[in-house]
Amino acid sequence: MSQLTKLIDAASGEESIATVVRKLYVLARRAGAADLEAWAVKELNGYEASDPLPTYRGPIPVNPLGLFIDGFGGKIKNVAMPSMHVPEEVRERLYTVRLYEPLVALEVMASEDRRVRWDANWVLGFNQLVAAGLAQQNPAAQYVLESAEYFLLSSQLKGILDSIRFKALDLALTLEKSVPDAGEPGVSDETNQKVVAIINQHWDLSGATFSGSHNVFGSSNVEQNVTVTQGNDSQLHSALGRALLQKS
């Protein structure tokens, strides 16, 4: 069975998206398609925090819901926390996420809707901004933020994974028609050059974005907490410091 046939069968069947991308990696490595090879390596192993991310991995806007408490046992749940109510310096840290995980992890995340909680430092930072008069909150002033969470919908992640699957299938079918021995060991340099030219022309994931509603109120089927990278503490502290200095 040829490498292209294996790729077509995987992309058009029930194989995991990680398996599909591993077959893309073989194709890219043998043909010398450096960009596709580098992309496949990152997708399979995960991205470093310093790596530029594809648009479908972030930054992804989220709309957290807050739990506010007062000093007398009072609680207000599911309070909307619009991003416009916080300074621009910290908005990206608090209201966007980035997905650095390997594809295998994203496939697990896509199996069901996920509830993701703000880190405790994010909660502390929000309360500091409110206390300094730099952020607004909907409850009265005697309330403070106890926790906040947002939701990643499985349908959104599945849409991204399916986009990658379709692109892989489309590329393999295009190569099968033009260069049927693409990805085979020992083919000529001329053949590999044709393969690389077709890959560079057809492989484009710029249209794959994380879209749809990023807020679910009262979703009963969201149970499992997951860890999703949302900036980092040093960046948040720096942004908070700038905002507080401007206030003073």
Residue 33 has pLDDT above 90, yes or no: yes
pLDDT score for 56: 87
Give, as one character, the DSSP assignment of residue 216. Answer: -
pLDDT score for 19: 97
7-11, 151-155, 243-247: segment of lowest average pLDDT:
243-247
Q: From 82, 99, 143, 134, select the one nearest 239 (Cα to Cα).
A: 134
Q: 86-130: per-residue pLDDT in tens?
A: 888 888 888 888 899 999 999 999 999 888 899 898 899 899 889
φ, ψ of residue 46 in degrees (nearest 5): 95, 160
Q: 75-89: per-residue pLDDT in tens?
A: 999 999 998 888 888
Task: Give the helix ranges, DSSP H, for the chain.
Answer: 3-12, 17-31, 34-45, 88-95, 103-109, 120-131, 154-178, 189-202, 233-247
pLDDT score for 248: 46
| Residue 147 bridge partners (DSSP) | 67
Strand order in the sheet with 144-152: 75-80, 65-69, 144-152, 114-117
Confirm if 2 and 178 have CB atoms less than 8 A apart.
no
How many CB atoms are closer than 10 A to CB 120? 9
pLDDT score for 139: 82
pLDDT score for 152: 85
pLDDT level of residue 132 (50, 70, 90 thresholds): confident
